[in-house]
Amino acid sequence: MAPGGGLEKDNARFKAPSGCQEKKQACVRQNLSAYNRFSIGCGELMSVGMQGVSHTNGYFSGYASIFGVPDKGGDVVMPGAFKRSLEKPGRTKVQLLFQHDPKEPVGKILNVVEDSIGLKVEGLLFPQVERAKSLIALVSGGAIDGLSIGFRTLKAVHNRTSGHRHLHQIDLWEISIVTFPMMERARIFPVSNQSDNPVRQYRSPQNSIAAAISLLSNQ
């Protein structure tokens, strides 16, 4: 999806009255997206793009890739690497998966843009899907917050000095919620975080995997 997607436009058009019921009725009257109708609750008009999973509705935002930082495989995504891919028609079809498994779609990508930090994403987990329902609990509880990208490399340069591969052009296929991201700073924003800063304290891998196993093993 190109920068400035439909979610931001919907929010800009929506003028909410003060009362709870009036908010809901006005939202329906103005024919906002199904996501916005779902996420505006009693006494709450969400400030989207600034939180992690908001309560139980499944909305999340974060960075799926950080520019200029080597991942665990030695790849460095360069600024502008996603530009052509995001400008292609049909970029709203970037898939939202769990652990890069094509058999595990868990929701949809609402918006994906490049900014000065990296690839910023907004997504919606579908609570009607069992795996997504578990992920809402895991992400809301801080047990899992990793994000990762599935892509095809179109242009890359190997840096002989550092040994890193600099990715200058990428064809983005999917974004996954993962337990262990290849890029340590590619994370979902925590619910309490009111800034877009991806640098923060993380739960230990041992705590994350234990919580993941406890909720996902019976799915």
Residue 192's pLDDT band (cuts 50, 70, 90): low
Q: Does pLDDT of 60 surpass 50?
A: yes
Residue 88's pLDDT band (cuts 50, 70, 90): confident
Winning range, highest mean pLDDT, from 16-25, 120-129, 183-192, 193-202? 120-129
Instruction: Specify whether 159 is located in the same domain as 209.
Output: yes
Instruction: Please give the residue that has the higher pLDDT: either 121 or 215.
Output: 121
Instruction: Specify whether 96 is located in the same domain as 28.
Output: no
Q: How many distinct structural domains can be found in the chain?
A: 2
- Asked whether residue 83 is domain-assigned, the answer is yes
- Asked whether residue 53 is domain-assigned, the answer is no
Instruction: Specify whether 146 is located in the same domain as 64.
Output: yes
Determine the pLDDT at residue 92: 56
CB 12 within 8 A of CB 153: no
Instruction: Specify whether 142 is located in the same domain as 100.
Output: yes
Instruction: Specify whether 70 is located in the same domain as 24.
Output: no
Range of the domain at 93: 59-216
Instruction: Specify whether 93 is located in the same domain as 157.
Output: yes
- Asked whether residue 11 is domain-assigned, the answer is yes
CB 62 within 8 A of CB 70: no
Instruction: Please give the residue that has the higher pLDDT: either 41 or 101.
Output: 101
What are the residue ranges of helices labelled H in 14-129? 20-29, 34-39, 83-87
- Asked whether residue 49 is domain-assigned, the answer is no
Instruction: Specify whether 145 is located in the same domain as 94.
Output: yes
Q: Does pLDDT of 17 surpass 50?
A: no
